[in-house]
Each structure stands twice: as C-alpha cells, then as structure tokens.
Amino acid sequence: MKHVQPVLVTVHGHNSTIHLAIEDRSGDSAIIEYIGGQPRVHHGRQFTIMTNDPPFDQQLANLARFDFTDATRDTPLPGNVNPLDRFVRSAFFPSRWPKAASWHLTGS
C-alpha cells in the first residue's frame, strides 16, 4: 500500500473522525489520526492500540498516570466504557500475555 486517501464525511450534522492503525510484518506500527483535517502520525513499535477520542497525545498522557510495572491481580484498572478507560485496559492486558517462543507467519 503506497497511498491512503481517507474521505471524511458529515453524517447527521457531525463531521466524521478517522483513525488508522497499520503494522508491517516486522511489527513496525503507526497510528494515524486526523485532527482538523490534518494527519498526525504516531510511528513506532510502541504504538499498537487506539480509541477514537480524545486525541492520541491525550490518551498517552492519561496512560502515563498508571504504573503497571509491578502489577498483580489486585491492580485496579479503570472500568468505565469511556475511551480513556478502554485505552488503559487495552494497554494493560497485552503486557500480561505470555511471550511466544517463536512466531510462524504463513502466506506471502
């Protein structure tokens, strides 16, 4: 894929928002969000999760308030359905998954 051309539309009087998450075979990632019609790219292996709102920089600032380096089963997680809480939970759980011994990719 060489070019991505998002088409922003207005539905029921609201301008659409768009966020894209892309990753290549090596695990290199990017989150692309459009703010004020302009793309903002967050590029690097650490960018693997997103929610629609608020802007990604605000999500990262909120996530920085949490320290899961010494997390146990008793570590409280935010439990609301709002995007800030969903982002924190989405960052927490993959950090607790067991590491794969190896990856076997199929296909071309």
Within a domain: residue 103?
Answer: no
Length of the chain: 108
pLDDT of residue 71: 59
Within a domain: residue 36?
Answer: yes
**Which residue range(s) make up the domain with 56?**
10-96
- Tens digit of pLDDT per residue, the chain (108 long)? 567 677 777 888 887 777 788 888 888 999 998 887 788 999 998 888 888 788 899 999 999 888 777 656 666 788 888 899 999 988 888 777 777 776 666 665
CB-neighbour burial class of residue 21 (10 A; exposed 0-12, middle 13-18, buried 19+): middle
Residues 6+ positions from 53 with CB-CB distance below 8 Å: 17, 83
Cis ω before 54 (30° cut-off from 0): yes
Q: 81 vs 43, 61, 90, CA distance in Å?
A: 26, 18, 12
Entry pTM: 0.70
pLDDT of residue 74: 66
Q: How many domains does the chain have?
A: 1
Within a domain: residue 104?
Answer: no
Within a domain: residue 105?
Answer: no
Within a domain: residue 55?
Answer: yes
Q: How far apart are CA 19 and CA 33, in angstroms?
A: 4
Within a domain: residue 2?
Answer: no
pLDDT of residue 92: 86
pLDDT of residue 75: 65
Name the phi and psi angles at 14, rounded to 5.
-115, 135
